[in-house]
A and B are shown apart, each in its own frame.
Chain A
């Protein structure tokens, strides 16, 4: 219980970000929906098209809608220039505003359609102009219904805004996704409680406004609007605060990345920077986030950049690979590879120790004859990656059944016997803890995955920044990383990524 309270108290920043994002998305939704509703009230065709479009948007899962804005904004850079952010606030704002559109638009159009035709006839016959009719008659009569739509939209947006975390916008999704990855249910619960409470408060305040409109009590509406604005303002002020230079540390969506982000962040804070985190970014977007400056620093793995960014499928020795990556990064975007952290987080196929012994399996070669009987688990992106194609083709695993999991649940699937083998990670603490057997890769089908510290082009020349990070180079052994990962991933007595980062910093003496 104490843990939950503590977790809730630490949600100040994500809460403020969540409030600002939701309020901005709702405001944008209103600004777009209301003129559209007015137009729709004058033209049935527009009404049909607008409502159809909004309903279509609604059928797209919120997560997918958010993710889709990354490529859309990337394409729009051709028009708006390279400065257009593709991650963070902008895509989250646009996706959520689209989401807010439907309830507002639908209520506004329905309210218009259900208005007593006599009232409209009277307004026309009195000699009201378009704007007078809108202002004096249509707006006040439909206001309570529109407000009800805005209320619904607010609740939806606040709920869906938790997903903004996945496109690098801090929100109350941060604790939820971090908790989900590290099986820290207290953190998940804290995030859920905070976002639900926020939705309830917003619903209550907007309900006050709605009742004020419906009963023609202006004071009630103004109170509701005033309190809601005060909340947004407080959130805006709390995110301003420090005048120190703000840097953003990025992290992908698994424990090791959370820990390393905190480790990096702590060093930068010591160096006098104001640090923010964008975690839960997918492998595909995080590199783009760094080169575009949306994040300042993160840890990636040599094999990932080699295959995903450089589109290479050869497999040179680790040192050559890292050197080539560093050159390539410098040449293509100016990104600086500060160096190797010292450990590798490679894809490594793992089986339960007892089962491997039973079947007499020690290398990937041994899987070939029994491929058609196997079920292989991978993280959500693994089976789409060239590493899988390479392993599959090298060892003839075409016949195997594949199943995708989030990284954390994948291990549970293996220990519970739901899958026979998984694409584990060599730095994962659960390999030792779960007594897994890592299968030898005699054909070297899997590339190396040295952890590399990458710094955004604009910071490459910032010596204070780079020097704050340099002591981490070559400092983290695979054992130290495994221990830190396990401390976060285990079910009993688990640490938060923050705490694990502290311990890791102590154990490596930096």
Chain B
């Protein structure tokens, strides 16, 4: 894969909504097996860029290639069946049980979802087997997003797209699920692109951080280099937030006993 070029490539992609350039000529290569975080403030264009990969958004100009092939060449349903997608809205089908939700990928490809496979996917995301027959309504927010992750992995994708996947979860759940996803990324050999506005999350999970601002990528570096002060003004402003929080917490801990 590495030899034949990058796994995922953006070439001068552009998307405008009226006068606003949501994505303004982005060119970018992502290597297979990497965990990339796309960080930026609201409206920086990070979600739009992500959704161009599975064609939930079509670019006005430029193209997106997976393993050297333009995504526009593949019919959208076929393309999407090979890409895992997890997003903040989760979007579990309310009329289907947990097992049916997870089994939907094989089902739409005309295959039968095996019970063993569903049990395995539940295990992968640390969910009890007893949840399988439940409806999504009966689950907690964290459990629901775990089902969302399991559903995305059911198609055995090589590419996992995540759009603010943990945005609606409480901090403890968020931390646990984040680490779980990081492990799955490693164990399943995925290429993962995660959109988040939370720099701390990006620094902790990703091995490459891209900072977007005004539809452009303004920083492209590693967590270590970001923490060392590199990446420019916008990136450092985002890094400053968790750093100051960490320092404040440390100060509290070291304070008079």
B204, CB-defined interface residue at 8 Å: no
Task: Return A214 CB to nearest CB of chain B, in Å.
Answer: 10
Contacts of A128 in B (CB 8 A): 77, 108
B81 contacts A118, C-beta separation under 8 Å: no
Which of B54, B56, B77 is in CB contact (< 8 Å) with A129?
Answer: B77
Contacts of A120 in B (CB 8 A): 91
Interface centre among B54, B92, B95 (most CB of A within 10 A): B95
Chain B residue nearest to A128 (CB atoms) is B108
Task: Return A136 CB to nearest CB of chain B, in Å.
Answer: 7
Contacts of B54 in A (CB 8 A): 125
Q: Given the complex of chains A and B, what is the CA–CA distance between A136 and B54 in angstroms?
A: 21
The residues in B between 65 and 114 inclusive whose CB is less than 8 angstroms from any CB of A are 76-83, 85, 87, 89-95, 104-105, 107-108
Contacts of A140 in B (CB 8 A): 95
B80 contacts A116, C-beta separation under 8 Å: no
Q: How does the 8 Å CB contact mask read for B163-184 relative to A, with 1 for contact and 0 for none?
A: 0000000000000000000000
- Pair count A-B, CB < 8 A: 71
Q: Given the complex of chains A and B, what is the CA–CA distance between A55 and B87 in angstroms?
A: 38
B95 contacts A122, C-beta separation under 8 Å: no
The residues in A between 115 and 145 inclusive whose CB is less than 8 angstroms from any CB of B are 116-129, 132, 136-137, 140-141
The residues in A between 353 and 373 inclusive whose CB is less than 8 angstroms from any CB of B are none
Which of A118, A119, A125 is in CB contact (< 8 Å) with B56?
Answer: A125
A216, CB-defined interface residue at 8 Å: yes
Q: Given the complex of chains A and B, what is the CA–CA distance between A216 and B155 in angstroms?
A: 27
Task: Return A88 CB to nearest CB of chain B, in Å.
Answer: 43
Contacts of B155 in A (CB 8 A): 126-127
B95 contacts A216, C-beta separation under 8 Å: yes
* Secondary structure type dominating chain A contacts: helix
Contacts of A123 in B (CB 8 A): 91, 93
Q: Given the complex of chains A and B, what is the CA–CA distance between A120 and B92 in angstroms?
A: 10
A127 contacts B91, C-beta separation under 8 Å: no
Which of B79, B87, B90, B148 is in CB contact (< 8 Å) with A127?
Answer: B79
Q: How many positions in chain B have a CB within 8 Å of any CB in the partner chain?
A: 26
Contacts of B80 in A (CB 8 A): 124-127
B91 contacts A116, C-beta separation under 8 Å: yes
A121 contacts B87, C-beta separation under 8 Å: yes
Which of B78, B82, B91 is in CB contact (< 8 Å) with A122?
Answer: B91
Q: How does the 8 Å CB contact mask read for A402-422 relative to B, with 1 for contact and 0 for none?
A: 000000000000000000000
The residues in A between 442 and 492 inclusive whose CB is less than 8 angstroms from any CB of B are none
Contacts of B82 in A (CB 8 A): 127
Task: Return A38 CB to nearest CB of chain B, in Å.
Answer: 18
Q: Given the complex of chains A and B, what is the CA–CA distance between A121 and B81 in angstroms?
A: 14
Q: Given the complex of chains A and B, what is the CA–CA distance between A66 and B108 in angstroms?
A: 46
Task: Return A398 CB to nearest CB of chain B, in Å.
Answer: 67
B91 contacts A121, C-beta separation under 8 Å: yes
Task: Return B220 CB to nearest CB of chain A, in Å.
Answer: 26
Task: Return B154 CB to nearest CB of chain A, in Å.
Answer: 9
Task: Return B112 CB to nearest CB of chain A, in Å.
Answer: 15
Which of B83, B85, B93, B108 is in CB contact (< 8 Å) with A119?
Answer: B93
27 A-B pairs within 8 Å (CB atoms) are namely A116-B91, A116-B94, A117-B89, A118-B87, A118-B89, A118-B91, A119-B93, A120-B91, A122-B85, A122-B91, A122-B92, A124-B76, A124-B80, A125-B54, A125-B56, A125-B91, A126-B104, A126-B155, A127-B81, A127-B82, A127-B105, A128-B77, A128-B108, A132-B108, A136-B104, A137-B93, A140-B95
Q: 10 tightest A-B contacts by CB?
A: A122-B91, A118-B89, A127-B80, A127-B81, A118-B91, A125-B85, A127-B77, A140-B95, A129-B77, A119-B91
B interface residues, Cβ below 8 angstroms from A: 54, 56, 76-83, 85, 87, 89-95, 104-105, 107-108, 148, 151, 155
